[in-house]
Amino acid sequence: MVIGLAALTSAICGGSGRLSVRQEIQRAAQDNTEALDLTNRGLTSLPPEIGQLSQLKKLWLDDNALTGLPPEIGQLSQLTELRLTYNQLTTLPPEVGQLANLVELDVGNNELAALPPQIGRLTRLERLLLNKNKLETLPPEVGQLANLSQLVLGGNRLAALPAEIGQLSNLTSLDLVQNRLTTIPPKIYVLPNLQALYLGGNQLGSLPPQIGQLAQLETLWLRNNGLTALPPEIGQLTRLAKLELGSNQLRALPPELGQLVNLTDLYLTHNQLTTLPLEVGQLARLIELDLGYNQFSALPAQVGRLSSLERLLLNDNQLSALPPELGELSNLAGLSLRNNHLTALPPELGRLAKLKVLDIAGNRITRLPPEIEGRAGLKIIRP
């Protein structure tokens, strides 16, 4: 009797045309498979047979309905990557600490309320992603992750951090957005290799002077906090390229901001700023400057020195006039002036040869200078 290939496959797979998870694990054990993809399989539990895969290096379990992991997970001694995003995990078993070769652990978008202290045994771990869980605290053992370079904790319930995070000397990126932090442990500010620090969506009312000690910092994200001022020491962050300060309560900026000579992106939208320090003209590499939704009634002429600027957003302020020096922004491609009190534009804006979009809606401008009106290649958004 000859059985067709399709019928044989259906018989092996229980009529579904697809191997069961246990069958896949058995086959992976027989074939010495190094990577096993069990994403989006509707799993509510992981069979203990997973522990047979001692040769496995990568295990992907994303997009399932797992609420826990079997202790046999600790037998995967060669595992370097474990992905568990978008499940319903409430805990990690202590045996996870046996995964001595693990380099990446991604448990984002789960229901974790705590981490086992054994996580500190993962001394080869380089990337730990725990975003969008229910973590309220971290075990101090997290400071033992000597090789960790990326730590993602955004979207949790952290009100404090253990001081031991300051021991992570190889950390380059720390994401703490959307938590409940009111202060940051001082030791974080001396992390020698930190390049990106994301603190948006917390409850920080101020920054300590120690912020200036992060000599390698390139990205600082502080959006949606309660900041009322910046310490002058922020000017010591001379490697900083991106600074996000939107949705705070800033009324003024320190002149030391002009020392950020490598800054390319500066976001100050939704604050209470009325003036810019003259030193802003020293930001020669600035490409994007967002000053929207503030209380500016005038701009300093020094803004015209930003020769690299490509996008300038001044919408929703109280500007009644613009400095003619804006015509010196030779690389400007987009200029938003929406919702101000302008009645005219300086003819010098006609020098902006690279300007592609000019938004003047929500003003009182009835007539544009001939240097601007009808210029080829320029899109003008009018009232």
pLDDT value of position 299: 97
* Residue 52 falls inside a structural domain: yes
Question: In which domain, by residue range, is 89 found?
Answer: 33-381
Query: Is pLDDT at 11 greater than 60 in this prediction?
Result: no
* Residue 14 falls inside a structural domain: no
* Residue 23 falls inside a structural domain: no
Query: Is pLDDT at 7 greater than 80 in this prediction?
Result: no
Tokens 């992976």: give the residue. Answer: 28
Q: What share of the chain is helix, strand, coil (3-state, %, to 5)?
A: 25, 15, 65
Q: How many domains does the chain have?
A: 1
* Residue 3 falls inside a structural domain: no
Q: What is the pTM of this model?
A: 0.93
Question: What CATH number does the domain containing 246 carry?
Answer: 3.80.10.10
Tokens 């809606």: give the residue. Answer: 361
* Residue 141 falls inside a structural domain: yes
* Residue 2 falls inside a structural domain: no
Query: Is pLDDT at 97 greater than 80 in this prediction?
Result: yes
Quick check: 281 and 258 in contact, CB under 8 A?
yes
User: Cα(291)–Cα(319) distance, rounded to whole angstroms?
Assistant: 12
* Residue 253 falls inside a structural domain: yes
Query: Is pLDDT at 41 greater than 60 in this prediction?
Result: yes
Question: What pLDDT, in 10s, does the model give residues 121-158?
Answer: 999 999 999 999 999 999 999 999 999 999 999 999 99
* Residue 322 falls inside a structural domain: yes
Q: How is residue 7 written in tokens?
A: 């019928």
